[in-house]
Chain A
Amino acid sequence: MQEGTVVEWLVAEGATVSVGDEVLEIETEKVNNVFESPVAGTLRRHVAEVGSAIPVGGLMGIVANADVDDADIDVLVAEFVQTFVPEADDDEARPEIVTVNGRTISYLSVGDKTSDATPLVLVHGFTGDVTSWLFNQPALAADRRVIALDLPGHGASDKFVDDGGIEYLSGAVTGFIDELGLSEVHIAGHSLGGAVAARVAISNPERVATLTLIAPAGVGSYINGEIISALAMADRRRDTRQTLQRLVSNPDLISRDMVEQFLRLKRTDGAAAAVARIASAFVEGHRQRIDVVENLANYAKPVLAIWGADDVVIPAKPAGTLPENIECHVIDEVGHLPHMEAAAKVNELIAGFLKIRSG
């Protein structure tokens, strides 16, 4: 993400804010998102104007104590404007390619490659791609290298998916980890990517330190097959927007850019066929054809699971329905995309989980 457009200020100048208060609504190339105040104090100045595009790192507003002089604030803002240089395009992480079993996998690596901390691998869900993690990857990269990949059939990866089954997909992810020479990783997956991540983790206990599942497939048998089918078939703007809106609790979160991005990826040669094959391998009617719960029962490594309470694709699983060693969280007013709809909360949960459990 390089910039966001300011949609609306949610707190007036002069009002008090606490840490975590929703302050500003921002439109990005993914969902429309809300910025929460990282500090407490009085919101003294709206610097960013409604309708303007602010680059990453740009100044949005000033929070200060009520007794700070306006003139001092003016100086601060002026200084910032004079000296601020948005991160150049060249500095931003670019997708890279590796070959796994003769096929290309595209991935995005963010964070310090030389760090000792165990890296985190992110596996997106059905019809997603590396940008599914737009609000998570930068934040989580503060502690470690974070590597998001495009699954086979998705994004810029090879569109060959064999029978579309979980074995092929998890094999590709395992091969990817090998290819990057990573001896130990944490793994996190969303939806179908959650089932893939689980399969990778369970099959490679010596390589995978922890497992994070976000609205995962393979847990519980029900899935709204009609939504999966709609995602697989969507190839026009109106249908796509309506279908994407069903994935989130608040339909206004789906921006036009997100719809455009979805269609662009779908229209790549081979993508639509790959996605259709995967859909039929993993869903039949309203029933999931994959199950990872059985394996999770015997899985000894730490597991974090996060759902949105309003998920209509795969219903949230409260604690008590899964093996006891799994740490479960259900987030209110969030649908099937908790990592986008409640990114700050999800990042906090994951970062905390990883910090306690490892390096």
Chain B
Amino acid sequence: MAKKTIREAINEALRQEMERDETVILMGEDIAGGAGLDGEPDAIGGVMGVTKGLYATFGPERVIDTPITESAIIGLAAGSAVTGLRPVAELMFVDFLGVCFDQILNQAAKFRYMFGGKAKTPMVVRTTYGGGLGAAAQHSQCLYQMFTMVPGIKVVIASNAYDAKGLMIQAIRDDDPVIFFEHKARYDDAVEVPDEPYTIPFGEAKYVREGDDATIIAIGGMVSEAIKAAEILAGEGIDTTIIDPRTTSPLDVDTILEAAEETGRVVVVDEANPRCSIAADIAGLIVGHAFDALKAPVRQVTAPHTPVPFAPELERLYMPDAAKIATAVRDVVNHGK
């Protein structure tokens, strides 16, 4: 057990699974980087450094640098998965989903169903999401709702290194297509992570914090902001529960409803744009199934309905943060008083 960053935890998960099961292979743009050229192979280890060192151990047959063609990368993953391998493909930025979405939506997600159970697609697509690094409109989106809405796909959004390792191992062992989201600004966040392999089941939300006054449900990178907001609010005598769903598909509706009912005052935090968002989905579930326990409207703290700005001042205004979350919590706590 040692403190490991999200980057290191995912790297360790990939390494341990590749050691355990030789059908696990990796593919993506520059996931080794430099392979085949003069100089050091595995020079890059992925644009975010997550796959560093794996090429050196497992070689070019299992760690495949691809050309820049998401439709082929994800198509390769879907095809190799359905014919017996367990690929972990990288979609470098989730913003690129447009060029490979058919492979996911109409192929991978549908194989098991349309082949009457005769096929399974045990593939993982790792992808980066989120803003805060000034990567601008085409490299900062969240878009997880676009996979969550598709039956046949599982969607994982880990908020910390401990969950990231366990959920990645679970994703690789899962026989269905899993999209594994990694926040590009959070790779250096570190917590204690066991050295041994372990799993975390999908569809199990986590109680990050417990408090009686309000419930905050936060997705991915927003969990850290929720924790900061909770500390600010604790100083004002407002004690909050924080729920981290960890997977949006399957979604742990039971825990979400239980946490909503315990306080009756709910704020959902989602970095994505507000229309058809996970926040809207969760708010709708709560209003539909826990209405009588509610003491205030369910508030959603999200980005505005605009592209992600490039200018740092505007990006800061765009991103939900602890202050905005705390304001929303005060609103629901004071509602009706």
Q: Which residues of A contact B (CB under 8 A)?
A: 51-52, 95, 156, 235-237, 256, 260, 264, 267-269
Contacts and interface: CB of A to CB of B under 8 A. Distances in A.
23 contacts: A51-B234, A51-B239, A95-B1, A156-B1, A156-B194, A156-B195, A235-B201, A236-B201, A236-B204, A237-B204, A256-B207, A260-B206, A260-B207, A264-B194, A267-B166, A267-B198, A267-B200, A267-B201, A268-B194, A268-B198, A269-B196, A269-B197, A269-B199
A235 B198 CA distance: 13
Interface string B187-228: 000000011111111001011001100000000000000000
Given A267-B201, A269-B199, 16 more contacts: A51-B211, A51-B234, A51-B239, A95-B1, A235-B201, A236-B201, A236-B204, A237-B204, A260-B207, A264-B194, A264-B198, A267-B166, A267-B199, A267-B200, A268-B196, A269-B197
B1 A256 contact: no
A268 B200 CA distance: 9
Contacts of A235: 201
B197 A268 contact: yes
Interface of B: 1, 166, 194-201, 204, 206-207, 210-211, 234, 239, 255
A289 to B, nearest CB: 29
A272 B308 CA distance: 45
A268 B211 CA distance: 29
Would you call the interface of chain A mostly helix, strand, loop, or mixed?
loop
A151 to B, nearest CB: 15
Contacts of A256: 207, 210
A123 to B, nearest CB: 21
A269 B239 contact: no
A267 B194 CA distance: 11
Would you call the interface of chain B mostly helix, strand, loop, or mixed?
loop
Nearest to A237: B204
Contacts of B166: 267
B210 to A, nearest CB: 7
A92 to B, nearest CB: 12
B233 to A, nearest CB: 11
Which of B194, B204, B239 neighbours the largest number of chain A CB atoms within 10 Å of its CB?
A: B194
Contacts of A237: 204, 255
A269 B170 CA distance: 11
A95 B210 CA distance: 28
Nearest to B170: A267
Nearest to A50: B239
Nearest to B3: A89
Contact of B198 (A52, A95, A269): A269
B207 A156 contact: no
Which of A51, A256, A269 neighbours the largest number of chain B CB atoms within 10 Å of its CB?
A: A269
A51 B241 CA distance: 12
Which of A235, A237, A260, A264 neighbours the largest number of chain B CB atoms within 10 Å of its CB?
A: A237
Which of A51, A52, A260, A267 neighbours the largest number of chain B CB atoms within 10 Å of its CB?
A: A267
Contacts of A51: 211, 234, 239
A236 B196 CA distance: 20
Nearest to B200: A267
Q: 7 closest pairs, A vs B, by CB?
A: A268-B198, A269-B197, A267-B198, A268-B196, A267-B199, A256-B207, A51-B239
Nearest to A256: B207
A269 B13 CA distance: 12
Nearest to B203: A236
A235 B234 CA distance: 32
Contacts of B199: 267, 269
A266 B197 CA distance: 12
B115 to A, nearest CB: 30
Contacts of B201: 235-236, 267
Contacts of A52: 234
Contacts of B234: 51-52
Nearest to B211: A51
B297 to A, nearest CB: 26
B100 to A, nearest CB: 32
